[in-house]
Structure 1
Amino acid sequence: MAQILDSLPPEQSGKILCCYVNATSKIQVARISNIPNWYFERVVFPGQRLAFEAPREAQLEIHTGMMASAILSDRIPCDRLAISEPSSDDLDTSSDYVDDPSNKKQIVQSISPKTGDTTKPLTIASLASVD
């Protein structure tokens, strides 16, 4: 999902959809500071994926959290983080479907039901006090 909380200034054109993943075990702060009249700063937790819209010339600064401080650990041009959005051709759901016999691979194995009694007695663990 694209970030829409802080919309770009109206004079900005050529925005791109970007994605950054925090592949570290530390909390990071992602910040764009080179675009005038626009504030973008987000906390990115370990393993979290951050999707956002930004001008093509924006640079994402990554500040890695330390005890009571943060260190600028990377500066990434947003055009390197760009992800492609599906075009209308990719989402075409017209009825021009061709039945392709090579596309009939079984994706999910069928589930065969078990026969016979599958019930088992319930064993309850109990605690006893020891003096």
Structure 2
Amino acid sequence: MAQIFDPLPSDSASRKIICCYVNVTSRIQVARITNIPGWYFERVVFPGQRLVFEAVAEAMLEIHCGMMASAILSDTIPCSRLKIHDEVIPTFDPNEQQKLEEKNERKTLENQALVEPVVTIQ
């Protein structure tokens, strides 16, 4: 998966993982990784949007949310917990494909359960 604007540092090529984060809240969030030297990653994630990205296992995804020019760090998630588990299907079998899709969907739902929405009291 190419990230044209912010590729991973070249020394991390062997440790790349594919990750998925879903914004299950009703607010816009900013997803940011700041703990990897030489790499800047920041994306806006709209409500209900699924963000798929490359990272290294030791990366920490920060989730910032807020309103109107203010952002609050609401969660920090290890990217290793957001990893999409890829499996190789030797031949095309619709039943195996369905099982793999269901497994990835369960993993995504598990990851969503780890992220609790932030309640702001005004």
Task: Report the TM-score when normalising by structure 1.
Answer: 0.65
1:4 aligns with 2:9: no
Q: Quick one: distance in 2 between partners of 1:83 and 1:53?
A: 10
Match of 2:91 in 1: 92
Match of 1:37 in 2: 38
Summarize the Cα distance change of 1:84–1:60 in structure 2 as closer, same or farther, 3 Å threshold.
same
2:80 partner SS: helix
1:73 aligns with 2:81: no
2:11 partner SS: coil
1:16 aligns with 2:4: no
1:66 partner SS: coil
Q: Quick one: distance in 2 between partners of 1:28 and 1:91?
A: 38
Q: Is the 8 A contact 1:29 1:65 kept in 2?
A: no
CA RMSD of aligned residues (A): 1.6
What stretches of structure 1 of length at least 5 have no aligned partner?
98-131
TM-fit CA distance, 1:91:
4.5
Q: Quick one: distance in 2 between partners of 1:34 and 1:83?
A: 21
Please tell me whether Structure 1 or Structure 2 has the larger radius of gyration of its CA atoms. 1
Matched positions, count: 91
Match of 2:109 in 1: none
Question: Taking every aligned residue pair, what percent have the same amino acid on both sides?
Answer: 66
Q: Quick one: distance in 2 between partners of 1:22 and 1:8?
A: 23
Q: Quick one: distance in 2 between partners of 1:91 and 1:51?
A: 24
Q: Quick one: distance in 1 between partners of 2:17 and 2:38?
A: 18
Q: Which has the higher helix share?
A: 2
What stretches of structure 2 of length at least 5 have no aligned partner?
94-122
Q: Quick one: distance in 1 between partners of 2:18 and 2:85?
A: 7
Which letter maps to 1:38? W
Q: Quick one: distance in 2 between partners of 1:30 and 1:17?
A: 15
